[in-house]
Structure 1
Amino acid sequence: MSEVMDPAADSPFPAMADGRLQALRRMKAISGALLLVAAIVYVLCRAFTDSDGVWGYIQATAEASMVGGLADWFAVTALFRHPLRLPIPHTAIIPRKKDQIGEGLATFVREYFLTSEILGERLAAARVPQRVGDWLADPEHARRLAQELSISVSGMAEMLRDDQLRNSVATFADKRLRQTDMSPLLARLLEAVCDSGQHQAALTTTLRGLAHFLEENRSELRRRVALESPEWVPDWVDDRVFNKGFQLLQSFITDVVGDDGHGLRKGFDDQLRDFAERLRDDPEQIAKVEQTKLEILDHPAVRSYLEDIWGTLKKFILDGAADPESDLRRSAEALTVRAGEVLRDDPDVRGRVNDVLERLAGHVATHYADDLTDVISTTVARWDNEETSRRLELQVGRDLQFIRINGTVVGALAGLAIYTFSRLF
């Protein structure tokens, strides 16, 4: 009565273990053997006894055992195929109802799993931020994550087309620079320089360089004065005038360099701050800066520099990603560890992350639950009917064979009890 199941090598499912198939066959053999034993006992009792006395009890037990075993065999078999290949109504339930089973499973998952309340409860119970924080705070995990990210970044960079990206980056940078109003930026830069005193340091360096330049070229300057002086002026007069003027100039430079409160320094500071104000408020000055900016951007050398930005940036990223000791990798590891520590130790951050996750889960459950569960129903609908039945039987059929065994045993006990009751009363 037991039908042999074909494991079907060509299948959309992963191949099952041979041990599971052997276990199913073994259980089918045991349940079939019990039914066969009951049938043999019944036939022997009918053929060689008068069905009286003890033999009557044995015959009744065997008869009921056959009925129970056959009924449960029919019930179990009817789940997966037509018993004896007869098209009996309400049999081969799984092949016939495969699509409805898939839709029912999808509905069950949608109504009892993909809801905002259930997903929120599970997320809260899972303590996702705490666990993620614990994992990220481990330096070894951070190092591994940085390594994986570097591999991914390197792979993506190699896949990109440099010629297109070079032009795109250059065009983007050029467009942004043309759209940016440079005057306010220069004004803020000048004010920051003045506030920090760096302009005075630059003036000091310039004056010292000028003093050194004048000293290095004193003879050349004296010769130039001689050439410009009238011929009737004696040389000793030229020498005295030049030396006096040169000494006054060097003395003036020395005074400015050594005096932080010198009037020239204050005037220099006032002029820079005034220029910053004009960069912010004077339309004529603003127009000059913008015109200068456009002329610079239109220069071929600037366009070439902008086109080199992508190559420089790519090399920096690839070199940093490939070197475990690079500042880029170390920064990525440090940021990862810091993020993990914040998630692990700061309850406010964990609470905000949990709120975001719960809102995201609720949004997904509200707007995409049908799309997600459609995967179940459409996938089941694509399965072959007979193959689905065979694979499901291979998965759960061994346990179902216990139903046949129980039916045979319970039928025997029920038959014995009924026969005994009828004999007593």
Structure 2
Amino acid sequence: MRVIATGMLLAMAALFAVATSLDEAYPAWGFVKAFAEAAMVGGLADWFAVTALFRHPLGLPIPHTAIIPRNKDRIGDTLALFLRDNFLTPSVVARRMGKVDVAGAIGRFLAEPPAGEGRLREGASRLIVDVLESLDQERLGGMVKSAISSRIRALEVSPMLGQSLEAAMDEDRHIPVLDSIITWAGRTLDANEDIIRDMVHERAGWVMRLAGIDDKLADAIVDGLRRLTIDMAVDPHHPLRQSAEEGLARLASNLRSDPDTQAKVEEMKNGLVDNEALSHWMDGLWENARAGLLRAARDPDATMAGKFGEALQQLGTTLQDDARLKATINQFARRTVVGMVATYGTGIVALVSETVRGWDARTITGRLESAVGRDLQYIRVNGTLVGGLVGLIIHTVETVA
């Protein structure tokens, strides 16, 4: 476009020379001369104006030329203010985000992954693997274990145990436990019958041993205990079973409301947390979780093809169909973006201003000229044509008058 505009200017100069040489012999050429003369003036004026935006015309330091290089810092500040006032204000972003369905977009992506989703998933997987492998394994494991321990210490276990025990008793889920204890007691008695007989024999006097009464007493004790366990097993209303249920009810109540019982449970819980065996268990738990994450991240296709992939697809469908969940996520996204703009908007504006300030004059001139230079050359072309037409009109009016 620069070549075309300059060519038109040179063409008008040549036409003016020809018209000037023929003007006296052929008066009609006067109109051509007026057109060419005015076109040259218009073309030169617009060339000067366009050139003055970016550099000094013909290299001459004429005042008010090379406007953009001399005012690049002000241009950067103005551009930054424009961004701040029209794009990076919380109210503007909030209005724009109100029209964006973030939850729906996430839901569609999860439910029906696009064609390029494989590359995205592989990139995310590599990033996860790199992050997991770059972190200090012992330190991260210690952080996880410390977080779990802190969470357990802060958890009030006693009321939960009390509520769970009451719920189990209300639904008779404690009965199998009592039956198992009674069965265990019967089997333990059968397995340790000799121990009971030895105890009776040792505590009996020599007179009873001489008369053989100790054996009869031992038989009576063993038979009585065995009958007791059998009666408790077959009779759901046995007095000892009732006593056990009453004891469980008192325990549930104490766990929920008795400070002394709660203090004992807390002491037991803290002792369990401090136990070395539990510490090793939590270490193993973290290692297994980390290894599982690495396996899943290294093979995302296998992971996404299984139950986890089905769960993500179900989540995507839910995000699209559940209006309440969608509204909650969109509200969270809107508040997050607005908060980021309110917090970092000034920094972004400063970044734009400082970046433009950091450019040298040649860089900013080249970039702006590349962006709008073609349209500016059209101005030169239009100036040449419009100037010529105005000159022709003026000459015509002058000739007729």
Structural mapping, 1:145-160, within 5 Å: 151-160=126-135
Aligned to 2:355: 379
Secondary structure at 2:244 match in 1: helix
**Unmatched 5+ residue regions in structure 2?**
none
Aligned to 2:383: 407
Aligned to 2:242: 266
- CA–CA distance in structure 2, aligned partners of residues 311 and 107 of structure 1: 52
- CA–CA distance in structure 1, aligned partners of residues 256 and 100 of structure 2: 56
Aligned to 2:143: 168
The percentage of aligned residue pairs carrying the same residue is 35
Cα deviations by residue, 1:324-367 (Å, 9 ceiling, x for unpaired): 58889966545544443344234444445555555556556666
Secondary structure at 2:236 match in 1: coil
**Which of residues 184, 199, 202 in structure 2 aligns to 1:209?**
184
**Residues 77 and 291 (structure 1), Cα distance of their counterparts in 2 relative to 1, 3 Å cut:** closer
Normalised to the residue count of structure 2, the TM-score between the two structures is 0.81
**Residues 319 and 267 (structure 1), Cα distance of their counterparts in 2 relative to 1, 3 Å cut:** farther
Residue 63 of structure 2 is aligned to residue 89 of structure 1: yes
Aligned to 1:100: 74
**Residues 190 and 325 (structure 1), Cα distance of their counterparts in 2 relative to 1, 3 Å cut:** farther
Verify the 8 A CA contact 2:196 2:222 in the aligned structure 1.
Answer: no
> What is the CA distance between 1:97 and its match in structure 2?
1.9
Residue 59 of structure 2 is aligned to residue 59 of structure 1: no
> What is the CA distance between 1:268 and its match in structure 2?
0.8
Deviates more, 1:264-273 or 1:170-179: 170-179
**Residues 80 and 324 (structure 1), Cα distance of their counterparts in 2 relative to 1, 3 Å cut:** closer
- CA–CA distance in structure 1, aligned partners of residues 234 and 292 of structure 2: 44
Cα deviations by residue, 1:366-387 (Å, 9 ceiling, x for unpaired): 6654443333222221111122
**Residues 211 and 165 (structure 1), Cα distance of their counterparts in 2 relative to 1, 3 Å cut:** same
Residue 371 of structure 2 is aligned to residue 392 of structure 1: no
> What is the CA distance between 1:403 and its match in structure 2?
1.8
Verify the 8 A CA contact 2:56 2:65 in the aligned structure 1.
Answer: yes
- CA–CA distance in structure 2, aligned partners of residues 131 and 317 of structure 1: 26
- CA–CA distance in structure 1, aligned partners of residues 27 and 262 of structure 2: 123
Residue 40 of structure 2 is aligned to residue 69 of structure 1: no
Across the aligned residues of Structure 1 and Structure 2, the Cα RMSD in angstroms comes to 3.8
**Residues 62 and 146 (structure 1), Cα distance of their counterparts in 2 relative to 1, 3 Å cut:** closer
Matched letter for residue 132 of structure 2: A
**Unmatched 5+ residue regions in structure 1?**
1-26
**Residues 394 and 253 (structure 1), Cα distance of their counterparts in 2 relative to 1, 3 Å cut:** same
- CA–CA distance in structure 2, aligned partners of residues 224 and 400 of structure 1: 115
**Residues 84 and 161 (structure 1), Cα distance of their counterparts in 2 relative to 1, 3 Å cut:** same
Deviates more, 1:167-176 or 1:234-243: 234-243
Normalised to the residue count of structure 1, the TM-score between the two structures is 0.77
> What is the CA distance between 1:259 and its match in structure 2?
2.1
> What is the CA distance between 1:267 and its match in structure 2?
0.8
Deviates more, 1:161-170 or 1:354-363: 354-363
Secondary structure at 1:261 match in 2: coil
Residue 223 of structure 2 is aligned to residue 247 of structure 1: yes
- CA–CA distance in structure 2, aligned partners of residues 363 and 315 of structure 1: 36
**Residues 338 and 213 (structure 1), Cα distance of their counterparts in 2 relative to 1, 3 Å cut:** same
Secondary structure at 2:62 match in 1: coil
Verify the 8 A CA contact 1:137 1:340 in the aligned structure 2.
Answer: yes
- CA–CA distance in structure 2, aligned partners of residues 231 and 149 of structure 1: 87
- CA–CA distance in structure 1, aligned partners of residues 36 and 331 of structure 2: 66
Matched letter for residue 40 of structure 1: A
Residue 86 of structure 2 is aligned to residue 112 of structure 1: yes
Aligned to 1:423: 399
Verify the 8 A CA contact 2:208 2:214 in the aligned structure 1.
Answer: no
Matched letter for residue 177 of structure 2: A
- CA–CA distance in structure 2, aligned partners of residues 123 and 172 of structure 1: 36
**Residues 354 and 175 (structure 1), Cα distance of their counterparts in 2 relative to 1, 3 Å cut:** closer
**Residues 355 and 306 (structure 1), Cα distance of their counterparts in 2 relative to 1, 3 Å cut:** closer
Residue 172 of structure 2 is aligned to residue 197 of structure 1: yes
**Residues 271 and 232 (structure 1), Cα distance of their counterparts in 2 relative to 1, 3 Å cut:** closer
Secondary structure at 1:66 match in 2: helix
